[in-house]
């Protein structure tokens, strides 16, 4: 997917918390040596490598393609690639209001590891807490792609 495609899909999936990222922002991220993009028809995930950890910077699936296992499949590939690179854990921030995404992460073994108060703002300017979630890749067996 090109930076324009990524920005278009991101804008469809996010409004204020977090705000949509521009094509220029995606271009600079993709230019970073430690940022990796995985995409399939209908969705993508952007990951940043930080020492022996990986951070999910963003994940988005087109509204017409949801609940078909696309996000879970992308995250399982991220876990697999991370393990192969000797990375022990994956973390991310998610709005405490985003119960769908939290359900996705919990279904893949992520656990709540903290909170960042006021990390996002909603369209009325109200502060929203981000939940920090972490997947310990050394725990449990490697997952299988089932969808």
Ligand X SMILES: CC(C)(COP(=O)(O)OP(=O)(O)OC[C@H]1O[C@@H](n2cnc3c(N)ncnc32)[C@H](O)[C@@H]1OP(=O)(O)O)[C@@H](O)C(=O)NCCC(=O)NCCS
**Catalytic positions, written as ranges:** 93, 105
Does position 104 interact with ligand X (CB under 6 A)? The reply is yes
Taking CB under 6 A as the binding criterion, the range among 20-28, 81-89, 95-103, 114-122 that sits at the site for ligand X is 95-103
Query: Which string of DSSP letters, residue by residue, matches 56-99?
Result: EEEEEE-GGGTTSSHHHHHHHHHHHHHHHTT--EEEEEEETT-H
Site string for ligand X, 45-64 (x = CB under 6 A): --------------xxx---
Work out whether the CA dihedral 39, 43, 47, 53 comes out positive or negative. Answer: negative
Smallest CA-to-CA distance from 93 within 37, 124, 134, 46 is with: 134
Residue with the shortest CB distance to ligand X: 100
Size of the site for ligand X (CB under 6 A): 20
Residues that bind ligand X (CB under 6 A): 13-14, 43, 59-61, 66-72, 94, 98, 100-101, 103-104, 107
């Amino acid at each position: 997917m090109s930076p324009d495609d990524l920005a278009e899909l991101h804008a469809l999936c996010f409004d204020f918390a977090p705000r949509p990222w521009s094509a220029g922002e995606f271009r600079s991220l993709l230019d970073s040596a430690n940022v990796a993009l995985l995409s399939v028809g209908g969705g993508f995930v952007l990951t940043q490598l930080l020492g022996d950890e990986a951070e999910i910077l963003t994940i988005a699936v087109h509204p017409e393609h949801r609940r078909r296992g696309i996000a879970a499949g992308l995250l399982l590939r991220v876990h697999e690639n991370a393990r192969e690179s000797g990375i022990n854990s994956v973390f991310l921030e998610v709005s405490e209001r985003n119960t769908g995404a939290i359900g996705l992460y919990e279904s893949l073994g992520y656990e709540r590891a903290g909170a960042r108060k006021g990390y996002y703002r909603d369209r009325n300017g109200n502060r929203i807490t981000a939940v920090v979630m972490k997947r310990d890749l050394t725990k449990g067996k490697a997952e299988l792609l089932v969808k």
